[in-house]
Structure 1
Amino acid sequence: MNGQSHNDNDRDEVLARRIGRLREEGRPLASDPELADDPLVQALLAFEAGTAPDVVPERQERLWQAIQARMREPSADRRPLRRLPVGRSIWYRAAAVVLVLVAAGLGWWLYLGRETPHHLVASAGATQQVYTAPDTSRITLRPHSRLYLVAASETSLQYRLEGEAYFDVTYRPERRFQVLSGPVRVTVLGTRFDVRTWSGVEVFLEEGQVQLEGPHGQQQVLAAGQRSRLTADGRLTAPEPAPAETYLDWMRGRLTFTREPAARVTAELAHHFGVRIELPEPHASQQLSGTLLLDSLAPALQDLGRVLEGRFVEVAPGHYRFEDDAVR
């Protein structure tokens, strides 16, 4: 029995670190086919969505007190993690994974989720979906994206995004409109902007003005035509001009890119079509400019493969790998 528990704990820790990497990149858990069907991942999603079975309040409070204590400890002085006993219930395993995430410095997203309960209000499958907010704002979800309502009142309307969406906000000075994307908070001071989380958090402002707040309290304001990205160390880049088509052409059924690494192009294709795409170096770093139609995956991969002098082969359902013509 002890050996089995040890194996479960090791598997949970590996799983937790994979989940942490996805969250750092701002990608939804469902974007990794190997994680999507895992019962523990489903349990964590239920925790995050607020649909998990009720937990005794005293036990829940002790758990979150432990998490907060771990988060306050300096990283250099953290003690070895004391895992919760692994029983038959998947929910106790989920709690153990939460603590592993915190010990690895990746638990902030679950902690913040507790502070701001949320409810799924719109989800896009293989096609775009348009959601109309209570204040008549229109939100266009990119395929394989989700929108959660965090809070709604007469003075505040707050959403959380997984994936990518274009926001056309009906600006009302008396009612604050905010979007949470990973650890970044976007407060609307104007009207139209795009937010993506599938390959790190990025915000592009088409029209108006938005204020961004990063995980370390860093704040900045975007003007029309500017973008900002969240770096790997949790800092927001300085606002910089960006071509609008790079962020908005997906709504017109195409992918436009200018001097972008091929890895970013494949990451965007992977999110848009809900698949996994492997592209090794040196091809992943190759700078590309051009346009791909998003009508279907096969011709898009075929066109991209030609540019990279190779082809993409489906090695498993929904899993594609690049093969170099010179190697075959």
Structure 2
Amino acid sequence: MNNNIIPYSIIAKYLADELNDEERILFEKWRAASPENENVLKDLQYQWNGLLPLPESAFQKGKFNTWEKITKEINLGKKSFHLRWIVAAASVAFLLGLSIPYLTKSMSENTVPIAAQTVVVAPSGQKSYTLLPDGTKVWLNSDSKLTYSTSYNTKERLVYLEGEAYFDVVRNEKLSFIVKTGIVDVKVLGTEFNVSAYSTNDIIQVALVRGSVKLESAHNASLLAMLKPGEKAEVKRSGLHCSVLSCDVDTESSWRLNKLCFEGAYVHDVFQKVERWYGVKFNILNENKEYRYWFTLKTESLTELLQLINKITPIEYKIEGEEVTLTYK
């Protein structure tokens, strides 16, 4: 197999967890061939995960549409991380054997049409910015996804967030702006705030810059907290225990300005954020969980970061592609 050609059919089976042994060998060989191949896989994974559940009638077994045909029909053009769900669906449509006309129609009376939603993605190691239909500004941090309906700003202003985002919301007394994280709903009228809701984190954080913010349980709409500027809410996923504390909102949202600020952050928190910042995976050995760090990243390379950490707490490190093995001395 030519490792410069994207094996969409094999990737489809990987995403559906249906690879046989021979296909898995081919897939892993292609994936390891270059960082570009890994990036292609990540893009398709984001799009695949964004697709709504499809009914059995949607499948046309043995009748795969080619990627070339799909791109001609919807005129994708250059790659962009601001994607209509129809584009996200089309990028893997041939993998499912779906026809383009089907993708643009409602699948049933009880299912939202794929084309009725927009998804904005910031892949690992990158950030994204989008302007919502009402003028609300949204910055997405690395490994994040924002989804909203094409009916946004008509009957409601509702967005779904996976990851971290900074919102500058246009005020509208008639339509509240709601961020749904799956566990916590963040409700505002018009304000500026930062939400960190990565699924890999046990705590959801909301930091308020101006205005006011209401946090409610997504399960029963019970009030968890009301925030004032300069405050941060931390909500535990298990039990929904919420605590409110004062914070430096500039530090909390510094990533939006292409800075990553650490003010007494513990090792785990530092490397969790740095992984997303650089789009790498850290394997940390001999870790001292009590170590804390004070520093700011701007334009430093990964190597420069590691050299900085070495000056603070001596380490040894090895960079292999997108994996970094770090050992504390």
Could you say if the C-alpha distance between residues 136 and 272 of structure 1 is closer, same or farther in structure 2, counting changes exceeding 3 Å? same
Report what 1:143 is aligned to.
Answer: 142
Could you say if the C-alpha distance between residues 304 and 182 of structure 1 is closer, same or farther in structure 2, counting changes exceeding 3 Å? farther
Q: Is the 8 A contact 2:123 2:143 kept in 1?
A: yes
Q: Distance in 2 between matches of 1:253 and 1:46?
A: 25
Q: What SS class does the counterpart of residue 154 from structure 2 fall into?
A: coil
Q: What SS class does the counterpart of residue 312 from structure 1 fall into?
A: strand
Report what 1:128 is aligned to.
Answer: 127
* Offset of residue 264 of structure 1: 0.3
- 1:286-297 alignment, distance < 5 Å: 286-295=290-299, 296-297=301-302
Q: Is the 8 A contact 1:49 1:119 kept in 2?
A: no
Q: Is the 8 A contact 2:133 2:153 kept in 1?
A: no
Q: What SS class does the counterpart of residue 243 from structure 2 fall into?
A: coil
Report what 1:278 is aligned to.
Answer: 283
Could you say if the C-alpha distance between residues 158 and 204 of structure 1 is closer, same or farther in structure 2, counting changes exceeding 3 Å? same
Could you say if the C-alpha distance between residues 188 and 301 of structure 1 is closer, same or farther in structure 2, counting changes exceeding 3 Å? farther
Report what 1:162 is aligned to.
Answer: 162
Unpaired segments ≥5 residues, structure 1 = 1-11, 13-32, 58-89, 92-113
Could you say if the C-alpha distance between residues 116 and 53 of structure 1 is closer, same or farther in structure 2, counting changes exceeding 3 Å? closer
Could you say if the C-alpha distance between residues 47 and 281 of structure 1 is closer, same or farther in structure 2, counting changes exceeding 3 Å? same
Q: Is the 8 A contact 2:143 2:163 kept in 1?
A: yes
Q: How many pairs are equivalent? A: 240
One-letter amino acid of the structure 2 residue matched with residue 49 of structure 1: G
* Offset of residue 248 of structure 1: 1.7
* TM-score normalised by structure 2 residue count: 0.61
Aligned-pair identity (%): 21
Q: What SS class does the counterpart of residue 167 from structure 1 fall into?
A: strand
Could you say if the C-alpha distance between residues 116 and 191 of structure 1 is closer, same or farther in structure 2, counting changes exceeding 3 Å? farther
Cα-to-partner distance string for 1:203-252 (whole Å, 9 max, x where unaligned): 11111111112355342211111112232514142211112233122223
Report what 1:212 is aligned to.
Answer: 215
One-letter amino acid of the structure 2 residue matched with residue 168 of structure 1: D
Q: What SS class does the counterpart of residue 152 from structure 1 fall into?
A: coil
RMSD: 3.6
* Offset of residue 49 of structure 1: 1.6
Could you say if the C-alpha distance between residues 236 and 280 of structure 1 is closer, same or farther in structure 2, counting changes exceeding 3 Å? farther
Higher mean C-alpha displacement, 209-218 vs 176-185: 209-218
* TM-score normalised by structure 1 residue count: 0.62
* Offset of residue 142 of structure 1: 2.1
- 1:165-314 alignment, distance < 5 Å: 165-198=165-198, 200=201, 201-217=204-220, 218-219=222-223, 220-280=225-285, 282-283=287-288, 285-295=289-299, 296-314=301-319
Could you say if the C-alpha distance between residues 279 and 115 of structure 1 is closer, same or farther in structure 2, counting changes exceeding 3 Å? farther
Q: Is the 8 A contact 2:124 2:277 kept in 1?
A: no
Q: Distance in 1 between matches of 2:207 and 2:275?
A: 20
